[in-house]
Structure 1
Amino acid sequence: MLKIAFDPVYILPVPPNHRFPMSKYELIPGQLLHEGLITTENLFRPDVVSEESILATHDKDYWHQLHSLNLPAKEQRRIGFELSERLIEREQRIAQGTIDGCKYAFEYGIAFNVAGGTHHAGTNWGEGFCLLNDQSIAANYLLNNNLASSILIIDLDVHQGNGTAQIFENELRVFTFSMHGANNFPYRKEISDMDIALADGTSDNEYLSILKDTIPKLIAQQKPEFIFYLSGVDILQTDKWGKLALTKQGCKERDRFVFEQCIAGDIPVQVSMGGGYSPDIKDIIEAHCNTYRLATQMYF
């Protein structure tokens, strides 16, 4: 059964004059339900993640400042949101949703978090709308509970997974791979185990050629027991911040190839949705929903 982490707390009020499309977290499940691709049985409501799980990844002082809403104003500006109890709860539920998704992925092969992909959060900082790094927290959960000893993180958001790279820079059991726009945020990049920085205007053929040459080699070399996939759709040509030039079909073929490799290697995969900032919300929803449609066709 396809399992998708979802909770109404994900639907935050959008700050005045803010361009971040929070409504996609409601619209994606709504569209999938409308199509009959899923039922409410496919959706699960994660609890808040434990402090123990957070502190296995994030610095204690940073977490306590977040939780007490005492993070310095400069650090809040770096995140892009003013802190609130509801925002902190949202991040905790996202992280637990990804941990729960790992458990479902072991059972069903794949599982999703309709939010997540908060890859800009590092050990002791938040950035770019990211406070807690959900896939890093979940990866450490797998390691610390002896559920996996070799993990591959495939980050195909248009922005480098700088927080993820920093968190695992000294962890040999986790291989971080980020393929992103060279000239995109964050402008100060961290060093992943493998980074591929793409030129502005990279389109379907070039992107897919690089991906298809890279992923099988990584899987063969690393022999991961678990894969985390960050499937941002801000690689689309329509994205207002992305600078790449993929079509929705190219984005769909990207997802198809990643899933094919996971299936071929019998490797469970947890998928967090990541970014998407096209001016027309329909482009964002369609591209994200294609990822779920493919998973349903290929796994179930």
Structure 2
Amino acid sequence: MLKSLRFGMMGFLLMCLAGNLSAQSGPRSYFMIGLGMQFDLAQLGGTITKDGLDSRNSSVSRDSSGNITGYPLQKAIYAENTLISLKRTTGGAVGAKTSGAMVGGNVNVGYEKEGVFGVPSLFWRINVNYTTKISGGETSSTIMGYKWLDQEWQYTAWTVPTYLGIKLYNAANDTAVYVGAGVNYFHGWWGVSGTINNPGLQTFAPGILGPGGSLISDAPNPGINKENVRFGAHGFGLNWLVGAQTKVTDRGHLFFELETILSAGMGVGGVASVGGASALAPWVAYPVVIGGQTYRVGYKIEI
């Protein structure tokens, strides 16, 4: 991320140096609207697909007599690669339905004004972005058709980025490339809900499934039932973008851009189940990453 920031700032400086070459005919104002996609929401893709999350009931130690105390390894979140491995190992007796990291849809509206400080090629912009999950983040597993695990992740965020940037126009003044940087206000959350039915496993196949069994022995004990924990954060962060626009009507411009929102905070969420409190804590603190990189296409109209 820091490397991207360095390249973004270097590009911004180069564009500033090239600003005197602009063939701008006069400052303009735009109303803009865009649609975009953001991948790996909240940077939770690694947790969902390969890492999972260990239960706090996972410590094993020995007492003064050398006897094992505590709990064996238990999971609070099952990673998708673990479930896929179980499916392959058991010949499909353990089923796995996976969807990967969360992918978000982004709606963007804003106002842009050229001619900052009397320099036609400089512009300022303010936007409002709304991002929510549109796919991914859903994991479930069955044993001989019996669903014992169901996990679903969610994400929603609002950001209000502001920009100061520069445009470099072609000779006809109808196409431009631009860069900008600024600060943003952010407010958002991510959450995970679901069930890991450990009692059901033990009832389904005593001594084989669940804690102490030969299969899925790392299921949390007690089981997690209808958990729904959320972590939210708000504050201020940095942002930058690179883009291009081209005139398609007398007053309308089609644009494409890559926007990077860099913002995060610490969220605290309360659990909803006894199993969740045992596996995590009654109140859990977890980082909340808002933003990321959004790939966007949109339309600007001169006003």
Q: TM-score, normalised by structure 1?
A: 0.25
Q: Which has the higher helix share?
A: 1
Q: TM-score, normalised by structure 2?
A: 0.25
Q: Which has the higher strand share?
A: 2
